[in-house]
Amino acid sequence: GEDVEQSLFLSVREGDSSVINCTYTDSSSTYLYWYKQEPGAGLQLLTYIFSNMDMKQDQRLTVLLNKKDKHLSLRIADTQTGDSAIYFCAERTGSARQLTFGSGTQLTVLP
Amino acid sequence: KAGVTQTPRYLIKTRGQQVTLSCSPISGHRSVSWYQQTPGQGLQFLFEYFSETQRNKGNFPGRFSGRQFSNSRSEMNVSTLELGDSALYLCASSSGLAGVAAGELFFGEGSRLTVL
């Protein structure tokens, strides 16, 4: 079945890079997404990667995909206090239309 | 362009009661999905509606139901509330198209339900 796992917490210093990791089990995943949830708000789509890609860069965000190991990561360069939030990875398989979300990683940026 | 609007934002109910939550999607979006978010279970998919038809359903009991109207607005209903139904209920709209757009969800701020 589908399962997406993330570590629960990550703390970094302002200005450092953050790397949030995610593993998934469904090898038929077609698209993988990163969402951000700030306190009291819904989720906001940050970026996505297609399963035939290894890397995608979008300004301060870099997504790396290792399909062999079913490992996805989100790197945030020059992390700012405004990046403090919960980050969710999500997968969508070809056979399903809904997303399966990970448990979320709480990123805390320390000044 | 207005975002996804969910009402009410907060509500308190007691066990055994029923509740109806409302979601107005982004204009032009035909797909509305509902998710339950709890600290213990994370984000769990409830169901998806597209053009007034339920297109997908998660693993929730029949007490959880929903519908979508011709203007794409959606409601979800939970009957015979249990303490474990306390959660943030998130609605997400999307174009409903296939491909990457299928995962491009636009979320509302949620309705926080507390069951006493």
pLDDT digits (tens, 9 = 90+) for A53-98: 999 999 999 999 999 999 999 999 999 999 999 999 998 865 566 7
User: Of A85, A88, A101, A103, which is closest to residue A40 (Cα–Cα)?
Assistant: A85
Residues A15-52: tens digit of each pLDDT:
999 999 999 987 777 789 999 999 888 899 999 998 88
Preceding peptide of B8 cis, ω within 30°:
yes
Integer Cα distance of A4 and B17 in angstroms: 34
A99–B109 CB contact, under 8 Å = no
Strands (E), chain B: 5-7, 10-13, 19-24, 31-38, 42-50, 53-57, 64-68, 74-78, 87-94, 106-107, 111-115
Sequence-distant (6+) residues with CB within 8 A of B41 are: none
Give the nearest chain A residue to B102 (CA atoms).
A97
Is the minimum CB–CB distance between A45 and chain B shorter than 8 Å? yes
Tokens of B55: 């297109």
The reply to whether residue A97 touches residue B55, judged by beta carbons under 8 angstroms, is yes
Closest to A89 in 3D by CA, of A108, A75, A74, A76: A74
Pairing between strand B5-7 and A105-110?
Answer: unpaired
To the nearest whole Å, the CA of A68 is away from the closest chain B CA by: 21
Q: How far apart are CA A108 and CA A90, in angstroms?
A: 20
Mean pLDDT lowest for which of B5-9, B11-15, B95-99? B95-99
